[in-house]
A = this chain, B = another copy of it.
Amino acid sequence: MIDTPRSNRLHLAIFGRRNVGKSSLINFITGQELAIVADVPGTTTDPVYKSIEILPLGPAVVIDTAGLDDTGELGEKRVAKAREVLRKTDIVLLVVDPREPVTAFERDVVQAARERGIGIVGVRNKADLWGWNLPLADDLRALNIPWVDVSCAMGRGLEDLKRAIIAAAPADWDPLGVVRGVVEAGQHLMLVVSIDASMPKGRLKLPEVQTLRDALEENVLCSVVRDTEFAEALERFPRPDLVVAHSLVIDYVARVLPEEIPLTTTSTLFARYKGDLVTFARGAVALDKLEPGDRVLIAEACTHCVMPTDIGRHKIPGWLEQYVGGAIEHDHVNGGQFPDASALRDYRLVIHCGGCMLNRREVMYRILACQEAGVPITNYGVMLSYLHGVAERVLRPFPEAHRALVAAGGHPRTIIELDGAALSV
């Protein structure tokens, strides 16, 4: 995997006066995460950029402005530095001590962010000391920004903070793109599609079109072949740097393709694009801890017939019971419904559809609710590739997700034979 370029990461700038707990907040955000922290050294007043992976938000940069906080106001030099930071910032986290009155510092930060159209989230830190969900002081309310309570010491409030970050993120926030970080400019992506009579004439599946478009936008050279021409294309075309196969034909493609050529599926790319692949890989492995009698929640985002209705209602429960070796209690939610964290605690696992009807933000909220409840969540595509025994191969192009899978064994104890309809999710 090619590391996500910094420009494509969500940039979070932490502003706050001295002693409000900026450093502990940064450690809190980065410390619990699958972090690849790469400190950029700076002088005392220079902001420090840390590249991290925030689950499930994806690649991010946390900007530590500790050097800019040593006075109640932004002096001229600090104003220039702050401007420089704000030019790169997607979201400002404004940290305050709720006992202290609002000063020109906070008002300046809010105004500067607002002028630039930058999202802003207020953080009342050390909530363990001052109390949770206290009424907002008048001067904080006057800033007219959303607030969350956090306790770094107690490790509480991170989900609320992430939710607020997602809500404040730019509307077109899309840190990954479908293929970003998996193939790069000048490389060759081979897309293997499956065409059957049931597909509307003149169309390709939307995820396939989106994969192509994103790859082309990244200056990738693409080839597109049906499974029937795959072997021939592999001989005649230059060696692909990545093969993306439709799940329906993954068995055949995996058999024909040399092991050393990276292979994944469109549904894996979209599990990453629409949600969080590491979380989903961990969730898939959680299947191995399921026992007969456990409760599982199956969530489908579409209320209409985009999905063959029997996948979620019948097939998946059937395969689960086959895998677990006994009856499973399965509940179902559809469309816009999704339980909150307290209701999710009743489940041992949440299995979500591909989410093609949801935007990334909505899927994030759902993953966060599961994290808050301490319930693993996976999605159809990742779970089925796990049950089908191909997850280890199709996750290889995504090192963190692959590591998460392999750490937990990486292979299902038995391989469940899936039928065609299931593989087309």
Task: Let me know if A195 is at the binding interface, CB within 8 A.
Answer: yes
User: Which residue of chain B has the shortest Cβ distance to A220 in the bound complex?
Assistant: B229
Binds B, one of A7-15, A69-77, A231-239: A231-239
Say whether B193 contacts A216, CB under 8 Å.
yes
Task: Let me know if A224 is at the binding interface, CB within 8 A.
Answer: yes
User: With contacts A202-B209, A210-B202, A216-B226 known, is A232 near B221, CB below 8 A?
Assistant: yes
Which of B202, B214, B223 touches A224 (beta carbons < 8 Å)?
B223
Residues from 64 to 122 in A contacting B, C-beta threshold 8 Å: none
User: With contacts A214-B202, A216-B226 known, is A221 near B193, CB below 8 A?
Assistant: no
Q: How far is the CA of A200 from the CA of B224 in the complex (A)?
A: 21
Task: Let me know if A225 is at the binding interface, CB within 8 A.
Answer: yes
Task: Let me know if A261 is at the binding interface, CB within 8 A.
Answer: no
Say whether B237 contacts A221, CB under 8 Å.
yes
Say whether B219 contacts A229, CB under 8 Å.
yes
Say whether B195 contacts A216, CB under 8 Å.
yes
Q: Which residues of B contact A232 (CB under 8 A)?
A: 186, 221
Q: How far is the CA of A172 from the CA of B202 in the complex (A)?
A: 12
Task: Let me know if A213 is at the binding interface, CB within 8 A.
Answer: yes
Task: Let me know if A38 is at the binding interface, CB within 8 A.
Answer: no
Q: Which residues of B contact A224 (CB under 8 A)?
A: 212, 216, 222-224
Distance from A356 Cβ to chain B, minimum over Cβ atoms (Å): 11
User: With contacts A186-B229, A193-B216, A229-B186 known, is A221 near B202, CB below 8 A?
Assistant: no
Q: Which residues of B contact A219 (CB under 8 A)?
A: 226, 228-229
Q: How far is the CA of A228 from the CA of B210 in the complex (A)?
A: 19
Distance from A216 Cβ to chain B, minimum over Cβ atoms (Å): 5
Q: Which residues of B contact A193 (CB under 8 A)?
A: 216
User: Which residue of chain B has the shortest Cβ distance to A189 in the bound complex?
Assistant: B224
Q: Which residues of B contact A195 (CB under 8 A)?
A: 213, 216-217
Residues from 178 to 209 in A contacting B, C-beta threshold 8 Å: 178, 186, 188, 193, 195, 201-204, 209
Say whether B233 contacts A221, CB under 8 Å.
yes
Q: Which residues of B contact A214 (CB under 8 A)?
A: 202
User: Which residue of chain B has the shortest Cβ distance to A202 in the bound complex?
Assistant: B210
Q: Which residues of B contact A213 (CB under 8 A)?
A: 195, 201-204
Say whether A223 contacts B209, CB under 8 Å.
no
Q: Which residues of B contact A228 (CB under 8 A)?
A: 219
Say whether A223 contacts B223, CB under 8 Å.
yes
Q: Which residues of B contact A203 (CB under 8 A)?
A: 209-210, 213
Q: How far is the CA of A404 from the CA of B108 in the complex (A)?
A: 72
Distance from A164 Cβ to chain B, minimum over Cβ atoms (Å): 25
Distance from A7 Cβ to chain B, minimum over Cβ atoms (Å): 16
Q: Which residues of B contact A225 (CB under 8 A)?
A: 216, 221-222
Distance from A221 Cβ to chain B, minimum over Cβ atoms (Å): 5
Q: How far is the CA of A195 from the CA of B219 in the complex (A)?
A: 10
Q: Which residues of B contact A212 (CB under 8 A)?
A: 204, 224
Say whether A221 contacts B236, CB under 8 Å.
yes
Say whether B222 contacts A223, CB under 8 Å.
yes
Q: How far is the CA of A174 from the CA of B201 in the complex (A)?
A: 11
Q: How far is the CA of A238 from the CA of B226 in the complex (A)?
A: 17
Q: How far is the CA of A210 from the CA of B195 in the complex (A)?
A: 13
Say whether B223 contacts A237, CB under 8 Å.
yes
Q: Which residues of B contact A186 (CB under 8 A)?
A: 229, 232
User: Which residue of chain B has the shortest Cβ distance to A216 in the bound complex?
Assistant: B226
Q: Which residues of B contact A233 (CB under 8 A)?
A: 221
Which of B222, B229, B236 touches A238 (beta carbons < 8 Å)?
B236
Q: Which residues of B contact A209 (CB under 8 A)?
A: 202-204, 209
Distance from A238 Cβ to chain B, minimum over Cβ atoms (Å): 5
Can you report 7 residue pairs joining A to B where beta carbons are below 8 Å apart? A186-B232, A195-B217, A203-B209, A204-B213, A219-B226, A219-B229, A237-B237
Q: A220-B229, A221-B237 are in contact. List 4 more A-B contacts (CB 8 A).
A: A172-B201, A195-B213, A201-B213, A203-B210
| 3 tightest Cβ-Cβ pairs between the two chains A and B | A202-B210, A222-B224, A223-B223
